[in-house]
């Protein structure tokens, strides 16, 4: 019934004695009893010795309750019974020995299996703890990274806020004088017209000698130029204000193209004359974002591109919408990004420029801002040369 | 599950006396050997004792023939009680068809009893036996000694347990047959239907117990 025969199974004759040993016993007993002796198994078949002849008697060899075999001999039954007691005693010793050794084996095996189980459990828990340690390690690193990032964002946000306040303050201060300069220029234009009306009242030779025709014409032109200059100053101030977005510090729906345009206007003033700025903006859906922060990110990327092209080259700003994202690409015709730099390009304080060329934070900050918007930022060298930074923002 | 050897016409029950060291397991078998009048009764085999303590096990074979001609055999084993011999204890316990737990009634032995019973429960699990289905009798032995738990105290402690309780003084043979008879009843109830003891072999619970005890009860 059990898979392996246990120590407690009942032994058959063959397990307790070999036919050779049984033969030996038969020979010895035959000498004592004076007749050939046979050992039969439990079923009565000859196991050892000579087959019993006519008139033989049998004596059982019983270890527990029922005989495992018999002695058979044509001799006195009482004498054979005595012989059987001796043989039984021998078989019983063997049986006891077998039982004990089998039990011992079984016990050892059980202990071994238990040890193995414990070992297995130990190994499993060890593996679990190792895994736990690894997870913890990774979590700590991730936390450190997040704290780093938050710190940079905070730093950036503060910087952005102060720049914004400064821009707003400057804009306010400039707008006032700009207002009266503009109004004075309009008045001056009127005055010039009044002077022109006096022409007939001034002697012609005197008028000519003073070259007043030219003066009046040039005066009007100067005033028109000045008005244009004032208008331009007003626009720059407005762009600066829009760029810093100090008026709207919270998440809001923003027109990214509009922002990119005012950004371009700001940056146009910084570029060397040999550099061309082009933009290819496709219609975009409005985006929920921190527009001031995104502006800072795009500005950082644009400044990086400008620095890359140096005195001459082209920086191209592109925008387009896919079903799920807004994509902004900034290409430059600079030297591109060397392969060995590429993996570190967004790392904090990694700069290839000399001291004073940049903080090394520009692209890092840009990446952090894009990541807070759930977006991605990648940098690559274009096949035709020059670098391309691609920002994808989920809608 | 009892071992049914159809060819030899034999049905063998393995019954195990379990319990703390020195509780009286061997004494139970010695007394049974003297008291039981079963048709077939073998010698009590004591396998290797060390300082009067069972090192391996004791074995007492008993048996009778059923009206159907089937030979019913009981092989009563004891386990070594010492804590160190757990592997042996487990091996002896495996394939058991019934268990007597021999507890020592002395107050000082309560903890040993508890630990041994816990060990029995664990080992039953390890050898794949279901304690809820295995016939089990709890014997509180050594009732003759002075500093023992009263019967009420014992009953109170085992109030929630489903197993029959028997009080014994094995040294004087008291309660030994009753313990064995109680286990036999559990065994009959547990296996009679499956083995067709009543229907095929003509053994009711009463005749089964009576034949095993040989009229000694
Ligand atoms: N006073 C008393 N002693 C007992 C009783 N039963 C067993 N003993 C003694 O307790 C000791 C251990 O008994 P034994 O049967 O060898 O315990 P085992 O280790 O469980 O096999 C022996 O000295 C026994 O004589 C009993 O009912 N009363
Ligand atoms: Mg013992």
Q: How far, rounded to the nearest angstrom, does the alpha carbon of residue A57 sit from its chain's CA centroid?
A: 90
Q: Any idea which ligand is nearest the CA of B19?
A: 1
* Ligand lying nearest the CA atom of residue B20: 1
Segment B176-180 shows an average pLDDT of: 97
Q: Give domain status of residue A166, yes or no.
A: no
CA distance A316 to A61: 109
What number is the average pLDDT over the span A361-367? 76
Q: How confident is the model at residue A358 (pLDDT cuts 50, 70, 90)?
A: very low
* Confidence label for A23 from pLDDT (cuts 50, 70 and 90): very high
CATH code reported for the domain at B3-213? 3.40.50.300
Residue B37 has pLDDT above 50, yes or no: yes
| Integer CA distances (angstroms), B10 to B7, B22, B39, B70, B207, in order | 8, 34, 15, 6, 18
**Residue A40: burial class (beta carbons within 10 Å; 0-12, 13-18, 19+):** buried
- Provide the 10 A C-beta neighbour count for residue A240: 20
Nearest CA residue ID for atom 9, ligand 1:
B24
In the structure, ligand 2 is a single-atom ion and the residues with CB under 5 Å from it are B 25-26, 54
Please tell me which residue of chain B has the smallest CA distance to A43.
Answer: B8
The CA B112 to ligand 1 mean position distance, Å, reads 15
CATH code for the domain of A382: 3.30.565.10
- Which residues form ligand 1's pocket by a CB distance below 6 Å? B 19, 21-27, 54, 78, 81, 102, 141-142, 144-145, 169-171
Helices (H) and strands (E) counted in chain B, each on its own, are 6, 9
Which of B16, B27, B99, B140 most suits a substitution to test ligand 1, by most atoms within 8 Å of the C-beta?
B27
* Of the candidate ranges A15-29, A262-276, A353-367, the one whose mean pLDDT is the lowest: A353-367
User: Is the Cβ–Cβ distance between A395 and A287 less than 8 Å?
Assistant: yes
Mean pLDDT of A7-29: 91
pLDDT band at A206 (very low <50, low <70, confident <90, very high): confident
Taking an 8 Å cut-off on Cβ atoms, the answer to whether A8 and B75 are in contact is yes
Out of B3, B40, B61, the one facing A1 most closely (by C-beta) is B3
Closest residue, chain A, to B127 (C-alpha): A110
pLDDT given for residue A346 in this prediction: 78
Q: Do A1 and B61 touch (CB under 8 A)?
A: no
Q: Tokens at residue A7, please?
A: 């120590």
Q: Is residue A53 part of a domain?
A: no
User: Separation of B23 CA from ligand 1 center, angstroms?
Assistant: 6
Average pLDDT over residues A323-334: 91
B47–A65 C-beta distance less than 8 A: no
Could you list the beta-strand ranges (E) of chain A. 37-41, 46-49, 57-62, 67-73, 252-254, 275-281, 287-289, 313-321, 325-332, 376-381, 387-394
Task: Say if the Cβ atoms of B47 and A96 lie within 8 Å.
Answer: yes
**Closest CA–CA distance from residue A80 to any residue of chain B (Å):** 21
A186 CB-contact burial (10 Å; exposed 0-12 / middle 13-18 / buried 19+): exposed
Sign, CA dihedral A60-A61-A65-A66, equals: negative
Interface touch A65/B85, C-beta < 8 Å: no
**pLDDT digits over B74-133, tens only?**
999 998 877 777 888 888 999 999 999 999 999 999 999 999 999 999 999 988 999 999
Asked if residue A125 is part of any domain, the answer here is no
* pLDDT, tens digit (0-9, with 9 covering 90-100), for A80-98: 999 999 999 999 999 988 8
Question: Which sign does the torsion angle of CA B145, B146, B148, B152 carry?
Answer: positive
Beta strands in A137-268 (DSSP E): 252-254
- A43 Cα to chain B: minimum distance (Å): 10
Q: Answer yes or no: is A115 within a domain.
A: no
A217 domain residue, yes or no: no
- Residue from B91, B93, B195 to probe the interface with A (highest A Cβ count within 10 Å): B91
User: Quick one: pLDDT at residue A246?
Assistant: 47
The residue among A165 and A113 whose pLDDT is bigger is: A113
Q: With pLDDT > 90 as the criterion, what percentage of chain A qualifies?
A: 30
**For position A340, what pLDDT does the model report?**
82
Digit-coded pLDDT (tens) for B38-81: 888 999 988 766 666 666 889 999 999 999 999 999 999 998 87
The per-residue pLDDT for range A55-78, each reduced to its tens digit, is: 889 999 999 988 999 999 999 999
| Percentage of chain A modeled with pLDDT above 70 | 88
The nearest alpha carbon in chain A to B63 belongs to: A65
Select from B126, B198, B138 the least CA-distant residue to B166.
Answer: B138
pLDDT in tens, B131-158: 999 999 999 999 999 999 999 999 998 8
CA nearest to A66 within chain B: B40
**Inter-chain touch A2–B95, beta carbons under 8 Å:** yes
In the reported structure, the alpha carbon of residue A206 is separated from the centroid of ligand 2 by a whole-number distance in angstroms of 149
Contact check, Cβ <8 Å, A111/B14: no
Domain interval for residue A255: 249-395
Calculate mean pLDDT across residues A271-286.
Answer: 89
Q: What is the mean pLDDT of chain B?
A: 91
The count of domains in chain A is 1
Q: What is the pLDDT of residue A77?
A: 92
Which residues of chain A have a CB within 8 Å of the CB of B73? Answer: 65
Q: What is the pLDDT of residue A357?
A: 42
Q: Is A123 a domain residue?
A: no
Is the CB of residue B78 less than 8 Å from the CB of residue B17? Answer: yes
Mutate to test the pocket of ligand 1, among B16, B17, B18, B22 (most ligand atoms within 8 A of CB): B22
């Amino acid at each position: 019934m059990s898979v392996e025969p246990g120590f407690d199974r009942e032994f058959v004759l063959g397990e307790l004695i070999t036919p050779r040993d049984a033969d030996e016993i038969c020979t010895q007993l035959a000498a004592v009893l004076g007749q050939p002796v046979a050992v039969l198994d439990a079923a009565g078949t000859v196991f050892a010795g000579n087959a019993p002849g006519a008139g033989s008697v049998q004596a059982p060899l019983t270890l527990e309750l029922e005989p495992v075999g018999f002695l058979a001999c044509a001799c006195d039954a009482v004498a054979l019974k005595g012989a059987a007691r001796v043989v039984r005693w021998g078989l019983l010793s063997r049986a006891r020995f077998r039982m004990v050794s089998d039990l011992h084996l079984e016990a050892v095996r059980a202990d071994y299996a238990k040890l193995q189980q414990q070992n297995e459990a130990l190994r499993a828990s060890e593996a679990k703890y190792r895994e736990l340690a690894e997870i913890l390690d990774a979590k700590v690193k991730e936390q450190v990274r997040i704290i780093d990032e938050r710190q940079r964002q905070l730093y950036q946000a503060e910087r952005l806020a102060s720049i914004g306040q400064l821009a707003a303050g400057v804009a306010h201060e400039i707008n006032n004088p700009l207002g009266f300069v503009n109004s004075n220029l309009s008045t001056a234009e009127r005055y010039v017209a009044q002077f022109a009306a006096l022409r007939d009242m001034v002697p012609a030779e005197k008028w000519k000698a003073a070259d007043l025709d030219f003066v009046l014409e040039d005066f009007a032109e100067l005033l028109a130029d000045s008005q244009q200059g004032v208008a331009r100053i007003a626009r720059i101030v407005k762009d600066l204000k829009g760029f810093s977005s100090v008026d709207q510090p919270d998440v809001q729906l923003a027109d990214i193209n509009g922002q990119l345009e005012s950004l371009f206007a700001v940056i146009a003033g910084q570029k060397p004359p040999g550099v061309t700025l082009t933009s290819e903006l496709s219609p975009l859906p409005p985006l929920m974002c921190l527009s001031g922060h995104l502006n800072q990110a795009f500005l950082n990327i644009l400044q990086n591109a400008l620095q890359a092209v140096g005195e001459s080259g082209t920086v191209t700003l592109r925008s387009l919408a896919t079903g799920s994202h807004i994509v902004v690409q900034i290409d430059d015709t600079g030297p591109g990004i060397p392969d060995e730099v590429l993996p570190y390009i967004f790392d904090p304080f990694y700069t290839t420029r000399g001291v004073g060329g940049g903080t090394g934070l520009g692209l890092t900050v840009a990446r952090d801002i894009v990541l807070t918007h759930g977006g991605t930022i990648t940098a690559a060298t274009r096949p035709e040369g020059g670098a391309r930074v691609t920002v994808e923002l989920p809608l | 599950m009892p071992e049914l050897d159809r060819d030899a016409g034999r049905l063998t029950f393995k019954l195990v006396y379990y319990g703390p060291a020195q509780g009286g397991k061997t004494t139970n078998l010695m007394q049974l050997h003297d008291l039981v009048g079963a048709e077939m009764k073998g010698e009590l085999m004591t396998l290797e004792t060390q300082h009067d303590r069972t090192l391996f096990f004791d074995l007492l074979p008993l048996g009778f023939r059923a009206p159907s001609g089937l030979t019913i055999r009981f092989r009563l084993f004891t386990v070594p009680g010492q804590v160190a011999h757990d592997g042996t204890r487990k091996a002896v316990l495996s394939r058991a068809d019934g268990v007597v737990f021999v507890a020592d009634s002395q107050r000082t032995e309560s903890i040993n009893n508890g630990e041994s019973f816990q060990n029995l429960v664990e080992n039953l699990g390890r050898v794949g036996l279901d304690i809820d289905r295995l016939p089990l009798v709890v014997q509180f032995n050594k009732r003759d000694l002075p500093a023992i738990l009263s019967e009420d105290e014992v009953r109170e402690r085992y109030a929630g347990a489903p197993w029959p309780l028997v009080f014994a003084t094995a040294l004087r043979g008291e309660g030994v047959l009753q313990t064995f008879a109680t286990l036999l009843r559990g065994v009959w109830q547990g296996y009679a239907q499956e083995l067709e003891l009543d229907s095929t072999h003509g053994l009711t619970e009463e005749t089964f117990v009576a034949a095993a005890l040989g009229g000694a009860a």
